[in-house]
Structure 1
Amino acid sequence: MAGNGEEDLYGEELRPGALVGDWVVERIQVLGPVSALYRARHAHSGVPAALKVLHSQVATAAVALRRFRREAATLQRLRHPHIVTVLGYGELSDGRPFIAMEWLEGQDLAAELAARGPLSPREVLLVMEQVGAALRVAHAAGVVHRDLKAQNVVRLAQGRGGPAVKLVDFGVAKGLVPGAPGSSSLTHTGVVLGTPLSMAPEQIRGQVPDARTDLYAVGVLLFQLLTGLPPFRGTTRHEVEQQHLHAPAPRPGEHAPVSAALDAVVLKCLRKEREERYPNVDALLDELRGAVLGGAAPVEAPRALGLYVEGRTPGEPDASAMEELDAGLERAHALALEAGLEVRVMGGACLLALASLPDDVLRERELRARVLDVGLALTRGDAPPGLSVTVHVDRLVTRDEAHGWGDAAASAWDDAGGEGGLLHLPSWIQDGGDGALIVTGAALRGLEADFVASPVSGAPDRWRLTARR
């Protein structure tokens, strides 16, 4: 170290003003046994970030260092709205590695449970839809989280359309695909990693985990969210592990007003043998929805907002025009996420983003106005040419649409003769020409005084928006 001033900034605990990569430390947030978490800001943009820095005494251990670097590689691989985003990673001058992640304003579910008690079944379903979406992406990429617990699910302070949560801390994640980040030998069979309150029996035995290992932890999380308590408790790690291995799982209904159908979902997640659990997260979510929303009774599809962006190039596109088109779609992607939408389709020349509408009238109107502002930003005079934007509000037609959109789902809907809804794009996408923002009456309703709008000739209930009033 150069002197006392630098030692003060870059000692074992980083001080405000320390420069870590491109980020300037503001304060320490959490001091853990293996690493410290700091709040920081980007030196140039000022964007807040969470810096996770490995302690020096731990950084000298090869296994811990490899696991830390693997977490960064894993998170960079798993890009999803409900998984914390990695902004960068590197090492300090003394060799301590760090990961810079997006800063999440909110609190983890363990803190929320401690502050307010159990969640209602519908709130639990909203949370688990998002956790399940994150796990679906991880499992499809060949990654098992292995430490899913209430402390590793952060509920954002500004959740839109219900509880918005993000899955964090993939520090003990294991790859299912050889050679993938997380598949190294440091988590080989026989090594026990995870948190005792949430560990599946096969983890405790040191067996190779798979996606169903995370589903056991989902069962633990469901139990906690519904009752405020973990299913198995003890005074020592060994006592808790023995219960996971041998004790019958209790029913949530023993501790909270929970239906028998919901009890059955949780108990199936908590089966000792993984072969007896749900085969995947989609099967689990299907039964969870039925248990919460009324079993086999028809469930009214939720209303949602859709933002469709299509890029067009006049004539034969050249390299410059294609670059502008790509840049415009990337900007649309970033603005959609910033506005609280989830990007469901990102094609070579189009983007579809959706968000469920809140029940609260004011919040619903705020969401629609925010998305209309996105549309204006993408089609105003100084925006790259060639983008056409349509905004619509309708029901999410099928369960497939509510939880994953794709050509197969669209084809099945069309084959069935279905019309309308956000899944059936031809029913609401309007060709208004390049640089146009077209909105349906359902998307504009109640906001007419806030935007400059004119009716689209020959297109009933379609409006062309050009500016904010």
Structure 2
Amino acid sequence: MAGNGEEALYGEELRPGALVGEWVVERVQVRGPVSALYRARHARTGVPAALKVLHPQVATAAVALRRFRREAATLQRLHHPHIVTVLGYGELSDGRPFIAMEWLEGQDLAAELATRGPLSPREVLAVLEQVGAALRVAHAAGVVHRDLKAQNVVRLAQGQGGPSVKLVDFGVAKGLVPGAPGSSSLTHTGVVLGTPLSMAPEQIRGQVPDARTDLYAVGVLLFQLLTGMPPFQGTTRHEVEQQHLHAPPPRPGEHAPVSAALDAVVLRCLRKEREDRYPDVDALLEDLRGAVLGGAAPVEVPRALGLYVQGRTTADPGPAGMEDLDAGLERASALALEAGLEVRVVGSACLLAVASLPDDVRRERELRARVLDVGLALTRGEAAASLAVTVHVDRLASDAASRSAPDAAASAWDDAGNEGGLLHLPAWVQDGGDGALVVTGAALRGLEADFVSSPVPGAKDRFWLSARR
């Protein structure tokens, strides 16, 4: 081995030139206690990547090995612009597993705080909007991060669309529901995982985490971004943990020019009992927007789900063709009602059914899945050649407009006086062809692993759905 240089390339630390799957190592970027992160390039395309490789001594531990593989499975499932993208994963010849991820040009928020100091409230809001969007997708998919901290949020180098951040390192993520990534028995009640500076009290006690565990960490991150320091500090892990468990959290306003409203948001996140925190990330973001902007900014959280069914006929369908079309629309109406939707618009060859989205993340996800199942049912079987279906999530227009004729609905205005929303059909209805089910990214978000989908060519954020997995 030493004669051909393989031992030098594939020792405990990989050397430049080592081939890892489809990627060639360029340099070691970060050496951690469990794994190392390398910068690499794809052997054929030259596209840069980040390779996370487990250390040899750790790879022999079954639990660590399974947890590492679980991180790869978790990240592959969570497709979102603000979550790092997995490019592939596998094992070296000696059994060490690796994950190849997109290379992020930028720096984590901890490094940014160290170089420039605290962020302004508006900057903090911009960051948290993106972190919150990533957490929304993870929680909807049944995954809690459990190690959200400044080091795991990377701000990308500024581009044409302005600065943005990505959430990384789901190494200790755990599933909230059976079948979700991390829902195995790898981590049990009584096992403490996470970073002491950001851990919620229930994590320290070894209790089962949920989405509100991440919201406590969001509170720690908010405090740190606003003041440049974490809310609780100590010389030992035990000292920090005891403060998380028992000490009243300080107000950011004690260390930075922060409003009382913003203090209140942070303190609610940092409450000891999870029942006293925000119920979900959307409720937190709504209060954060109000605290930073004085309530002037519109809340951009989707509010309703829409199912649009368009009947298709030939130029001269004849009586039999019209009867088939009517039967298809009647079936669509019945299935929509069974799924919990209300038929709000009915035309001679179309219908629109809508439902307000529940506040509970799990119920909201279940509703979207039911409606996607309805869409599949309508685009399969004998009626598939005459129906086209589109599913979308957006705000719902005013009740008066929603009960108007389809032509009027196509130009409806929402409650705020802005044209758009579910009732503005041209903005979201996709002509996918006969027998096609098209869903928007907002309707599919968090359900990608449950349905077989493919992008609609030439249509941004539109996907064809063909089956349940």
Q: Do both share a fold (TM > 0.5)?
A: yes
Matched, 1:299 2:285: no
- The offset of 1:299, in angstroms, is 3.2
Map of 1:141 onto structure 2: 141
In structure 2, C-alpha distance between the alignment counterparts of 1:93 and 1:65, rounded to whole Å: 15
Aligned counterparts, 1:250-289, within 5 A: 250-289=250-289
The two structures have a TM-score, normalised by structure 2, of 0.67
Q: Which amino acid aligns with 1:85?
A: T
Map of 1:14 onto structure 2: 14
Map of 1:310 onto structure 2: none
Consecutive unaligned residues of structure 2, counting only runs of 5 or more, are: 301-312, 315-390, 403-411, 431-469
In structure 1, C-alpha distance between the alignment counterparts of 2:219 and 2:266, rounded to whole Å: 5
Q: Are the structure 2 counterparts of residues 196 and 412 from structure 1 closer, same or farther at C-alpha, using a change threshold of 3 Å?
A: farther
Map of 1:93 onto structure 2: 93
Map of 1:201 onto structure 2: 201
Map of 1:117 onto structure 2: 117
Q: Are the structure 2 counterparts of residues 248 and 9 from structure 1 closer, same or farther at C-alpha, using a change threshold of 3 Å?
A: same
Contact 2:286–2:299 (CA under 8 A) maintained in structure 1: no
Map of 1:362 onto structure 2: none
- The offset of 1:20, in angstroms, is 0.3
Contact 2:220–2:231 (CA under 8 A) maintained in structure 1: yes
Q: Cα deviations across residues 121-175 of structure 1 (Å, max 9, x unaligned)?
A: 0000000000000000000000000000000000001255443000000000000
Helix, strand or coil at the partner of 2:93: coil
Map of 1:226 onto structure 2: 226
Helix, strand or coil at the partner of 1:283: helix
Q: Which amino acid aligns with 2:9?
A: L
Contact 1:28–1:37 (CA under 8 A) maintained in structure 2: yes
Map of 2:79 onto structure 1: 79
Contact 1:198–1:217 (CA under 8 A) maintained in structure 2: yes
Contact 1:14–1:28 (CA under 8 A) maintained in structure 2: yes
Contact 1:68–1:171 (CA under 8 A) maintained in structure 2: yes
Q: Cα deviations across residues 283-312 of structure 1 (Å, max 9, x unaligned)?
A: 0000000000014xx43789xxxxxxxxxx
Helix, strand or coil at the partner of 2:107: strand
Q: Are the structure 2 counterparts of residues 21 and 266 from structure 1 closer, same or farther at C-alpha, using a change threshold of 3 Å?
A: same
Q: Which amino acid aligns with 2:297?
A: V
Map of 1:409 onto structure 2: 395
Map of 1:384 onto structure 2: none
Q: Are the structure 2 counterparts of residues 407 and 143 from structure 1 closer, same or farther at C-alpha, using a change threshold of 3 Å?
A: closer
Q: Which amino acid aligns with 1:66?
A: R
Contact 2:2–2:8 (CA under 8 A) maintained in structure 1: no
The two structures have a TM-score, normalised by structure 1, of 0.67
Aligned counterparts, 1:145-184, within 5 A: 145-184=145-184
Q: Which amino acid aligns with 1:290?
A: G
In structure 2, C-alpha distance between the alignment counterparts of 1:249 and 1:162, rounded to whole Å: 34
- The offset of 1:237, in angstroms, is 0.2
In structure 2, C-alpha distance between the alignment counterparts of 1:254 and 1:286, rounded to whole Å: 23
Q: Which amino acid aligns with 1:164?
A: S
Map of 2:128 onto structure 1: 128
Helix, strand or coil at the partner of 1:46: coil
Map of 1:243 onto structure 2: 243
Contact 1:16–1:25 (CA under 8 A) maintained in structure 2: yes
- The offset of 1:183, in angstroms, is 1.1
In structure 1, C-alpha distance between the alignment counterparts of 2:110 and 2:160, rounded to whole Å: 20
Q: Are the structure 2 counterparts of residues 30 and 2 from structure 1 closer, same or farther at C-alpha, using a change threshold of 3 Å?
A: same
In structure 1, C-alpha distance between the alignment counterparts of 2:122 and 2:275, rounded to whole Å: 28
Helix, strand or coil at the partner of 1:185: coil
Contact 1:421–1:427 (CA under 8 A) maintained in structure 2: no
More divergent stretch after superposition (47-56 vs 181-190)? 181-190
In structure 2, C-alpha distance between the alignment counterparts of 1:245 and 1:41, rounded to whole Å: 45
- The offset of 1:408, in angstroms, is 5.2
Helix, strand or coil at the partner of 1:51: strand
Matched, 1:25 2:25: yes
Helix, strand or coil at the partner of 2:186: helix
Q: Which amino acid aligns with 1:126?
A: A
- The offset of 1:270, in angstroms, is 0.1
Percent identical among aligned pairs is: 84
More divergent stretch after superposition (412-421 vs 97-106)? 412-421
Map of 2:186 onto structure 1: 186
Contact 1:53–1:96 (CA under 8 A) maintained in structure 2: yes
In structure 1, C-alpha distance between the alignment counterparts of 2:82 and 2:413, rounded to whole Å: 33
In structure 1, C-alpha distance between the alignment counterparts of 2:120 and 2:74, rounded to whole Å: 33
Root-mean-square deviation (CA, aligned residues, Å) is 2.6
Helix, strand or coil at the partner of 2:63: helix
Q: Which amino acid aligns with 1:49?
A: A
- The offset of 1:4, in angstroms, is 5.3
Contact 2:392–2:428 (CA under 8 A) maintained in structure 1: no
In structure 1, C-alpha distance between the alignment counterparts of 2:71 and 2:299, rounded to whole Å: 37
Map of 1:107 onto structure 2: 107
Q: Which amino acid aligns with 2:76?
A: Q
In structure 1, C-alpha distance between the alignment counterparts of 2:62 and 2:91, rounded to whole Å: 15
In structure 2, C-alpha distance between the alignment counterparts of 1:83 and 1:44, rounded to whole Å: 25
Contact 1:10–1:18 (CA under 8 A) maintained in structure 2: yes
In structure 1, C-alpha distance between the alignment counterparts of 2:288 and 2:427, rounded to whole Å: 31
Contact 1:127–1:163 (CA under 8 A) maintained in structure 2: no
Contact 1:420–1:427 (CA under 8 A) maintained in structure 2: no
Contact 2:413–2:420 (CA under 8 A) maintained in structure 1: no
Contact 1:89–1:98 (CA under 8 A) maintained in structure 2: yes
- The offset of 1:429, in angstroms, is 8.9
In structure 2, C-alpha distance between the alignment counterparts of 1:430 and 1:210, rounded to whole Å: 36
